[in-house]
Chains A and B, each alone.
Chain A
Amino acid sequence: MSATGSAIILTLALACVTTLLLFLLGTPLAWWLATTRNRLKPVIEAITALPLVLPPTVIGFYLLILLNPNAPIGHFWVRLTGETLTFSFAGLVIASILYSLPFMVQPLQSSFERVGRDQLETAASLGASPLDRFFSLVLPLSVRGSLTAGILTFIHTIGEFGVVLMVGGNIPGRTRTLSIALYDHVEALRYDEAHALAAGLVLLSLLVLSLVYLLNRRMPGHG
């Protein structure tokens, strides 16, 4: 397989796995943030939003420290799987999850908040337990927000660079994602290949964002 081909497949795989795992992790977090009266809420919100403002290299640096085989987490992973977390796909997934967290949690949270207490207490009076309310009311009313969150997370993961470089390095087929491959091409002065990748990413992002805005216009939100 060509180097570009394997970079595309790796990048898509990373984006898919990251989005999927972030749905599982981000949904409860977003729900907690949307409904809690806990005093710690602003702190947790700030931590969630941190990847938006921090340079990716900062996140990458700390992850490198945390995940390397001599640190407890990295060591545990090596004993569990025989592989290191750093410079591996698993490490990239962990890094991407942290890096893309706000893109999943924030749209979900605001969409959950829009469901409103009125609807929830009505469902409760009809005999729906908290979990039942979440699946029968909150999720169906948050379809648009969930789609937005998923798409943004996916595309944002595709485009990440700094964190990947720090944690994953540049190993073809293992950690060389599209943006790394692009960097590689430019470093080697292969501008034709660089152009193809860059234009491809621009087009893809444009398409996906148009899709998001289209969804926001077309899909019924909250009544």
Chain B
Amino acid sequence: MADRVLDFNLTAQRGNFRLLAEGRIPLSGVTSISGPSGAGKTSLLRALAGLDRNVSGEVRLGDEVWMSGHRTRPVYTRRIGMVFQDTRLFSHLDVAGNLAYAARRAAPDQPGPSQPEIIDLLDLDGLLGQSVRSLSGGERQRVALGRALASRPRLLILDEAFSALDAARRNRLLPGLRALLDHHELPALHVSHSLSETAQLADHALPILSGRTGTLMPVNDWFAQQDSNAPDPCVLVTGRLSAHDKTRQLSRVSLGQAQIELPGLSDIPEGAPLRLLIHTRDVAIARTRLEGLSIRNQIPVRLAAIRDVAGSAYCDLSLDLDGQVLMARITRSAAEDLELATGETLIALIKSASLDPGRE
């Protein structure tokens, strides 16, 4: 699947709004379509799924043609799992009925998550017999995602699919969903206003602005770009939650060989993969491990590159951490005093890291 792409070049008209979209999205991992409200994120998802009229152009999934000119492949043969923000559960069926509706129509030869996997991931066991009318907004969204997964889609489309979940539930769910998507090699498109959601799920980002798509990029680059003008961009680092220390209210996270301890991760199950956002100014460097310092997280890294931040007193250090890139922003004069040379091993002092890029 990794070599296949969702290839599109289309225009859509909706009232005065015009969408001009072009791109090649890899059919592996999760791609976030990102842009401000009204930029056309949902329009793009709907156009790709074939739900809207007044769309023309080309859409291909691998070598299967979904749209060519005005001729389109019917939506029900495309095998897309759509999760809408407003859930759209079928009110004449209970929760189990909604899941079964999708499962019955799944292509028999299509691999995908099993019913127990879905129920387990979304914690639906207690809801199965309930009428969908009795569910809370968050519960409805969980069922809607479960239903889409049960249809064993070839492409999952998540349009603000977690907006009604509370932060604790979302923090538990996203690593599990990410693992399930990886395990079943199920690609996904994702739209959300939550940067933390994008951080936890996405591999790539496709920017969209005023109805025009930009260039697909790795999500790390996108995060760096998000606030490249701000004094303090952040990078995304993938790790695994190894253990909770309940008495100290800290959680241990492995980043490659290294381990760091962080607060605020108690919702994440032990063993789950997670992605941390680390602001460049929360990383300092030293030549040796330091005693008598409040910063506890001190891990060895290799200095990969030094880059000046134009028009400022700072420079950015790219630090290699077992293949991942950590960034530290220090002053140029500090870099000169330390006589840094690329390739040498340093100690990165990480002051904080979190699931969410917002600074408290």
Contacts and interface: CB of A to CB of B under 8 A. Distances in A.
B132 interface: yes
B88 A126 contact: no
Nearest to B79: A127
Interface stretch (B100-108, B161-169, B218-226): B100-108
Given A125-B75, A125-B82, A126-B151, A119 B90 contact: yes
Contacts of A123: 76, 90, 101
Interface in B94-126: 101-102, 105-107
Contact of B92 (A118, A133, A140): A140
A205 to B, nearest CB: 31
Contact of B105 (A126, A130, A141, A220): A126
A150 B92 CA distance: 21
A124 interface: yes
Interface in B190-220: none
A216 interface: no
A70 interface: no
B84 interface: yes
A125 B106 contact: no
Nearest to B46: A121
20 contacts: A118-B86, A121-B75, A121-B82, A122-B90, A125-B49, A126-B76, A126-B81, A126-B102, A126-B147, A126-B148, A126-B151, A128-B101, A130-B76, A132-B105, A141-B90, A141-B92, A220-B92, A222-B91, A223-B89, A223-B91
A222 B92 CA distance: 8
B341 interface: no
For the complex of A and B, the 6 pairs showing the least CB-CB separation, nearest first, are A223-B91, A127-B105, A125-B82, A124-B75, A122-B88, A140-B92
A127 B88 contact: no
Interface in A20-76: none
A137 interface: yes
Interface of A: 118-119, 121-130, 132-133, 136-137, 140-141, 220, 222-223
A9 B180 CA distance: 64
B80 interface: yes
Contacts of A127: 76-77, 79, 102, 105-107, 151
A220 B79 contact: no
Contacts of A122: 82, 84, 88, 90
Interface of B: 49, 51, 74-82, 84, 86, 88-92, 101-102, 105-107, 132-133, 147-148, 151
A121 B133 CA distance: 20
A126 B107 CA distance: 10
Nearest to B86: A118
Nearest to B88: A122
A166 to B, nearest CB: 43
A137 B90 contact: yes
Contacts of A121: 51, 75, 82
Given A121-B51, A141-B91, A128 B86 contact: no
Contacts of B151: 125-127
A214 B79 CA distance: 42
B91 A125 contact: no
Given A125-B82, A140-B92, 16 more contacts: A118-B84, A119-B90, A123-B76, A123-B101, A124-B74, A126-B76, A126-B151, A127-B79, A127-B102, A128-B76, A132-B76, A132-B105, A136-B101, A137-B90, A220-B91, A223-B92
B132 A125 contact: no
A123 to B, nearest CB: 8
Given A128-B105, A223-B132, A119 B88 contact: yes
A136 B80 CA distance: 19
Contacts of B84: 118, 122
A31 B91 CA distance: 20
Nearest to A122: B88
A119 B82 CA distance: 12
A80 B26 CA distance: 65
A39 to B, nearest CB: 16
Contacts of A220: 91-92
Given A136-B101, A223-B132, A125 B90 contact: no
